[in-house]
Amino acid sequence: MTEQTSLQLDAEKTPSHPERQLVQDNLRAARHIVGKKLSPRLTKSLNAVSLEFGFALDKGELQILGGSCYVTHTGLLRLARREKCCGIKVETVDSLCDPAAHRFVLKATVYPCQGSLGFVGYGDADPSNVSALVRGAELRMAETRAVNRALRKAYGIGLCSAE
């Protein structure tokens, strides 16, 4: 797929110069990361998230892992700020937590606008599902996962998030 065809959009919207530049920057950065030609699926995904959400690889808002595109916690928080998110509430689900075993489940609710009932996401973490690099930080990892899920729901982001 050429860069020209990677910029194809529906007939309703023509990208502005900054949007086109972001797509080109993301494609260039992705080629540098991948070290070879990008797959059509990755090219299409980068094109879509660049234009719809304004995510940028060079700002750490996206990551390329295994040839797929993932949104980062930083990218989700920046999007929430750009969209003037009204708030994020996080609470533990005590009945599912076992602090002695470092097992935590948290519930995050994102309020994208005044009067919103909120979008809920749950995140869990325990020593079996976190990297050895973050052992001991399971509570914070569960919070990050919960917030990421709630933000992805609130803003209609179909990508998984990278931790």
Counting every residue written for the chain, the total comes to 163
The one-character DSSP state at 120 is E
The pairing of strands 104-111 and 87-92 is antiparallel
CATH 3.30.160 given to domain 84-156: yes
* The two structure tokens encoding residue 42: 């990755």
Which residues are within 8 A (CB) of 51 and not within 5 positions of it... i.e. 6 or more apart? Answer: 9, 15, 19, 22, 23
In this prediction the pTM is 0.86
Q: Which part of the chain is CATH 3.30.160?
A: 84-156
| 35 phi and psi angles, rounded to 5 deg | 80, 15
What amino acid is encoded at 132 in this protein? A
Residue 50 CA to residue 71 CA, distance in Å, equals: 11
The one-character DSSP state at 114 is T
How would you write the pLDDT of the chain (163 residues) with one tens digit per residue? 344 444 444 444 677 888 899 999 999 999 999 988 999 999 999 999 999 999 999 999 999 999 999 999 999 999 999 999 999 999 999 999 999 999 999 999 999 999 999 999 999 999 999 999 999 999 999 999 999 999 999 999 999 999 7
